[in-house]
Structure 1
């Protein structure tokens, strides 16, 4: 079969957008703002004044490593001694060496500290802005490592083709040419339907807009939602650290293994950039600071998979099934007893209504599946990209506490800024009274 035969289904004049939702570029940043700032307000610490300057005010510390503003130690959590006494903190450096770091609680009455205390969600906004800045640097670093833009793009194209051939080894069947790639066949199915004018016209448009709009706003929306609704701040921090470590691992891959997405491969391979074809490209997908070779692993799917896992876990459905198996099959549970040490967040999760649990479980399954169809149907990722993202998230979850190694750095940063980290308003800390 010749190359011309492979692409013989292309309409005369090429594929054309048959439907499009026009949207100004400023809409997407506005969506982010409409998510972040209302979230900042809704998660504020109530009954707390920014400009109060009572010198007798003190912070109360909790027995939770992730719930305290600036604990004296990474292992001890107690009330501060007499106001005005600010002993240094004790931290573990890489889990090996105990070091002393400055205690920034002496700056708790500074105006910028009190603003953070009133709106603690600002801390989350800062760290995610930092992650965005690191992402934007990956393209420049990859270009530096590969010795120029041309060499980087050539290597990225080879990496993309290698992924396609690796997949074809398992499910090419009797197909030849681009048809041996499942991503190609899926996108062609949508394109043919769009050309014919059937319901796939709208479906493809939804996929295009979904790819452009869901990734950043959806993830930011999830962080906002979970900050406000997580049973405990410790649970929120586990999720946040997992997402952060997922980012770091992915950024390393973007730098060391730049990978060209299917839509940017040579036209002879037959993939179509449907998002750009419909002028549905997001402001987050364009510009000189965007890394267009950040296909492996797929952070679209990585975020979606992590979010889906959180919803499934918080639905309590899986935990409930495990409990039933233990009780009725393994017979290891006693229905007449109650474990006084049961984790508080599990108690809260168990209190959700059956309808809410069913919705959360269904959404947790549906969301990553939808994103997988979106990234493949629009030729923005390979299936292996999604698989790599799954392993990246799982690895990040298992080792998420490794990020606590940066606590000493955070202490010094807070000290340099003369700033005290606020008590969060997630879980039981929402009701904490801070004077």
Structure 2
């Protein structure tokens, strides 16, 4: 691409070279189908909702213990449902133990399908997201002021990035996002195999984000080795989301596709009529570009797959042995585990790298995000992972909510808890 005038626009403007006709309900139907399948495959087997209601025996849980002292048999003889002891900062206090309601029908439904709890957690996250647009408008004194500031924030990001790789060109050629999208637009007009690239990215941007993350949560819940590990990843995703939503309120940012037309970005997703049902409507915050949760979630998912591939274990061993020159006696030997098949390891490593790479390409090529949005998402995800246990401060609220609903939290079917027998 040269530095001459912008004379590369086809006569009649950019048009969708290809398009996949897809009814609007497809995405929500896909999400519901994933959730229903997850409920079925993670159900507690050999447990009847309307079966015998035997005496309830509390079972230890890594994340939310059901009593103040679950392993004190004498305490359970005097009070089978002792209050839970929680702490907040330096204050310790008691909360009610909802295990007394374990025989209720709605508690037994949750016990049969414990994945319903995960759906509830994500429902809360969506409700908070829905409020970010109204909170941002209130923070900036109205919709018009919010949109004006969001446009300025978007242009500030472009110009900040141009200082790194603009090459002294005039706008919009000094913006890397513009140059990348232009390449894909020209390929779309070429009429060869490359013409499908942009269509794939358009559909990927619209359809992969929510269904892909929901599928990952369901997959990880069903396959991870321990419930505590699942809770760490779930808290990280949730905390990443909540931290990003604070940015959406304080720093609303207009994506490139919504910038005024003279900046020459193209809304390729709309061009192909490939919008998701969650990309329009009153419940969508169109100014939630910084940081990019499309990339933030995909980055988290990618990190989990890379970690599960075992590559990092081998890399750590090589660093200790060949870089730090440590002998086996200089560090604790790793715990013996069943070796992972090489094919499985390779597949996980490929997914861990390819998935966030695809999402990064999609958010840039479709003019929905800036590179700085993706970098900020990595930073937010790292902070969320390091501080994910902060969300445990909400456990007392969960205790009171369960008590108010006369509902007992189910024993999860993740990891070794899958084999717990409950009557």
Alignment of 1:14-413 (within 5 A): 14-59=13-58, 61-62=59-60, 64-66=61-63, 70-73=65-68, 81-82=76-77, 85-93=80-88, 95-332=89-326, 334=328, 342=335, 351-413=339-401
Residue 331 (structure 1) shift: 4.9
Aligned 8 A contact 2:102 2:407 in 1: yes
Question: Distance in 2 between the 1:408 and 1:149 partners?
Answer: 36
Change (3 A) 1:76 1:82: closer
Distance 1:27 1:301, change over 3 A: same
> In the superposition, relative to structure 1, how do residues 145 and 326 fare at CA in structure 2: closer, same or farther (>3 Å)?
same
- Distance 1:181-1:77 versus aligned 2 partners, 3 A rule: farther
For residues 381 and 152 of structure 1, what CA distance do their matches in structure 2 show? 18
Is the CA contact (8 Å cut-off) linking 2:413 and 2:419 kept in structure 1? yes
Deviation of 1:34 after TM superposition, in Å, equals 1.1
Structure 2 length normalisation: TM-score?
0.95
CA displacement at 1:76 relative to structure 2: 6.2
Partners of 2:6 and 2:260 in 1: how far apart? Answer: 13
Q: Partners in 1 of 2:238 and 2:418 — Cα distance? A: 23
The structure-2 alpha-carbon separation of the partners of 1:290 and 1:362, relative to structure 1 and needing over 3 Å to count, comes to same
Over 3 Å counting, the alpha-carbon distance change for 1:234 and 1:222 in structure 2 is same
Q: What is the CA–CA distance in structure 1 between the aligned matches of 2:114 and 2:363, rounded to whole Å?
A: 34
RMSD over equivalenced CA pairs, Å? 2.1
Deviation at 1:366, TM superposition (A): 1.1
C-alpha contact (below 8 Å) 1:259/1:295 kept by paired residues: yes
In structure 2, the CA distance between the partners of 1:83 and 1:324, relative to structure 1 (3 Å rule), is farther
Aligned residues: 420
Aligned equivalents of 1:384, 1:339: Cα separation in 2: 41
What SS is found at the alignment partner of 1:176? coil
Q: Counterpart of 2:11? A: 12
Paired residues of 1:7 and 1:270 also in contact (CA < 8 A): no
The DSSP-based 3-state class of the residue aligned with 2:172 is: helix
Q: CA deviation at 1:65?
A: 2.1
Could you tell me which of 412, 417, 422 is aligned with 2:410?
A: 422
- 2: CA distance between counterparts of 1:359 and 1:271? 36
Q: Would the aligned equivalents of 1:263 and 1:273 in 2 still touch at CA under 8 Å?
A: yes
Q: Quick check: 1:20–1:278 contact (8 Å CA) kept in 2?
A: yes
For residues 81 and 115 of structure 2, the distance between their equivalents in structure 1, rounded to whole angstroms, comes to 25
Q: Distance in 2 between matches of 1:409 and 1:6?
A: 60
- 1:295-323 CA deviation, whole Å, 9 max, x = no partner? 00000000000000000111111112212
Q: CA deviation at 1:334?
A: 2.9
Cα distance in structure 1, aligned partners of 2:308 and 2:357 = 18
- Per-residue CA distance 1:243-283 (angstroms, 9 max, x = gap): 01001101111111110000000000010000000000110
Structure 1: where are the runs of 5+ without partners? none
The structure-2 alpha-carbon separation of the partners of 1:87 and 1:223, relative to structure 1 and needing over 3 Å to count, comes to same
Q: TM-score normalized by structure 1?
A: 0.92
Please state how far the C-alpha of 1:77 moved relative to its aligned partner: 5.3
